Structure 1
Amino acid sequence: MLYLVHMIVDIPSTVSAEEAARIKAEEKAYSQALQHSGKWPHLWRVVGEYANYSVFDVESNDELHDTLSRLPLFPFMKITVTPLAKHPSAIK
């Protein structure tokens, strides 16, 4: 199943720069592992924001929830999920 996921990150100023850097490094490693596995085939930055649009390819709503909740930045994210279906006019 494909999902379009919009993630907006807001790390509070109470998180030290060192802790934020550690969390971001863990986030990068986890997200790249998901990309290599094919579960996170598309990741785009939103220009001028600490946000992204991503496409996830997972088996179920539960798997997507589990995957997203394991993101190290998850506690600092506002996430919107849109399930996707093949469009009848799409050529691929």
Structure 2
Amino acid sequence: MLFKVEMKVTIPHDMPADVIADIKAREKAYAQALQARGKWRHLWRIAGSYANVSIFDVADNAELQELISGLPLFPYMDIGVAPLCRHPSSIHEDDR
């Protein structure tokens, strides 16, 4: 199942810089591992914001919840999720 996931990150202003750097490093490694496994299909930065729009390819809602809640930045995110399906007017037969 494909899901569009929008994530907006708000890190507390009083969080120490070294803690932020550690969380961001772990976040990057986790996100790249999910991309390598084909679970995190697309990752797009929203220009001018600490936010992204992503496409996940997972078996079901439970797997999506497990992957998202494993993000090191998860406690600092506002997340919106929408399931996706192929549009009948699309000229593509795959999900490029």
Same fold (TM over 0.5): yes
1: CA distance, partners of 2:39 / 2:90: 22
Partner of 2:50: 50
Give the TM-score normalised by structure 2. Answer: 0.94
Q: Which residue of 1 aligns with 2:36?
A: 36
SS at match of 1:5: strand
Identical amino acids, percent of aligned pairs? 58
What TM-score, normalized by structure 1, do the two folds share?
0.98
Quote how far apart the aligned CAs of 1:35 are. Answer: 0.4
* Structure 1 unmatched runs, 5+: none
- 1:19 aligned residue: 19
CA RMSD of aligned residues (A): 0.6
Structure 1 match to 2:63: 63
* SS of equivalent to 1:25: helix
Deviations 1:44-81 (A, max 9, x none): 00000000000000000000000000000000000000
- 1:88 and 1:61 mapped to 2: Cα distance? 24
